[in-house]
Each structure stands twice: as structure tokens, then as C-alpha cells.
Amino acid sequence: MTDLFGRSDDVETDRNTQQNVTLGRFRAGDRAPLDFYETPREATEALIYHHPSLLDKPILEPCAGNGAISRVVQEFAGKVESWDITEREFPLDGVWNFLSEEGKEDDVNIITNPPYEHALPFIRKSLAMVLPGNHVCFLLRVLFLEGIERRKLFDEHPPVEVAVFSKRIHFPRA
């Protein structure tokens, strides 16, 4: 049997190794390439269920991965443009580096789960891209609310809503 750190019970020495215990789950380089973790469909369904008017405008998914969010938007009859830095199985509208390229369309609402390491620049870029009054919805850990740089963002752009899932959402490593 393995524990949270992927260690097997019978490796007694690992249990007592301070470095393994401390670094186990958060070791640098341990995250998926391009921070690719798929959004479980219930997360997108909950957002659309509570805010159906988001789909009154086309949705831009700027880092769509394998289309986990885009497919749910389509099922709810929303129009969606899906882009990512790399194409996987889901057919994208295009490949781009969202942080360094011009947006193609501004009269959109943005819904995404970004690469967490770059969440702050993704949010800033999204807010700068869309027309005033349009919406930018990011799926992030609650912990994202902490931090000095993020505080500056929230002072400039106070969130309209922070919705917290009561049941913890599990993001499988894709």
C-alpha cells in the first residue's frame, strides 16, 4: 500500500527521512508538464448552473487542455473558443502562448482553470483583454486569495464573487 507521498509502507527508512517527509508531495518538478490538470465536469456545471447568463456571450477558454471546460460549455449550448499552448486530443481553435500573444476577440467571457503557477498573469491578461462589463471566471485553489501581489490585484479588481466548493474537488493529473 502507498501513502500520500507515493511511498510504500514497507520502506521504513523513508518514513524517518526528514527530507522525504518534508519534500514528498511538493518536490520541485513534481507537477504535471505544463501544469496540465483536467477540471472535473461538476465544477463547470456548477458555475453555469449558478450563472447561466455567462453563456449569453461566447466563452474564451485560453488554456483549454483536453477541453474539459469547453465540452461542458458546448453541452449547455454555449459557443466556445478553445486555445492552448499545445494541442492534445481535443481539437482547438488555435495554439498560442496566452501570456505573450494578442487576444483575438474581446467581446467574450473567459472561463478557465489556468496553469496555477501563472494564474496571476493569466488573470491580469484576461481582465485587460475583455470588454468592460464582461466576465472573467477562474477556477483556483482558495489559497490563491492570500499573497501580497494578489492583494494588489484584488485592490485594483475586487472579485465580484468568490464561490467556494463545500465538497473538495479532485483534479486528476492528466
Question: Can residue 98 be called a binding residue for ligand SAM (CB under 6 A)?
Answer: yes
Residue closer to ligand SAM by CB (options 17, 116) is: 116
We find the least distance from the C-beta atom of residue 67 to ligand SAM, in angstroms, to be 7
Contacting ligand SAM (CB under 6 A), which of 64, 73, 119, 130?
Answer: 64
Of 65, 64, 99, whose CA–CA distance to 82 is shortest? 64
Decide if 71 contacts 82 (C-beta within 8 A). no
* Rounded distance between C-alpha atoms, residue 70 and residue 66, angstroms: 9
Question: Can residue 37 be called a binding residue for ligand SAM (CB under 6 A)?
Answer: yes
Crossing angle between the packed helical segments 41-50 and 68-75, to the nearest 10 degrees: 40
Question: Can residue 81 be called a binding residue for ligand SAM (CB under 6 A)?
Answer: no
We find the least distance from the C-beta atom of residue 10 to ligand SAM, in angstroms, to be 34
Question: Can residue 109 be called a binding residue for ligand SAM (CB under 6 A)?
Answer: no
Instruction: Report phi then psi at 136, rounded to 5.
Output: -125, 115
CA 43 to chain centroid, in Å, comes to 11
Of 112, 124, 95, whose CA–CA distance to 54 is shortest? 112
We find the least distance from the C-beta atom of residue 34 to ligand SAM, in angstroms, to be 4
Contacting ligand SAM (CB under 6 A), which of 108, 112, 130, 136?
Answer: 112
Q: Residue 64: is it exposed, middle or buried by C-beta count within 10 angstroms (0-12/13-18/19+)?
A: buried
- Total residues at interface with ligand SAM (CB under 6 A): 22
Question: Can residue 38 be called a binding residue for ligand SAM (CB under 6 A)?
Answer: yes
Question: Can residue 123 be called a binding residue for ligand SAM (CB under 6 A)?
Answer: no
Residue numbers at the binding site for ligand SAM (CB under 6 A)? 34-39, 62-65, 68-69, 84-86, 97-99, 112-115
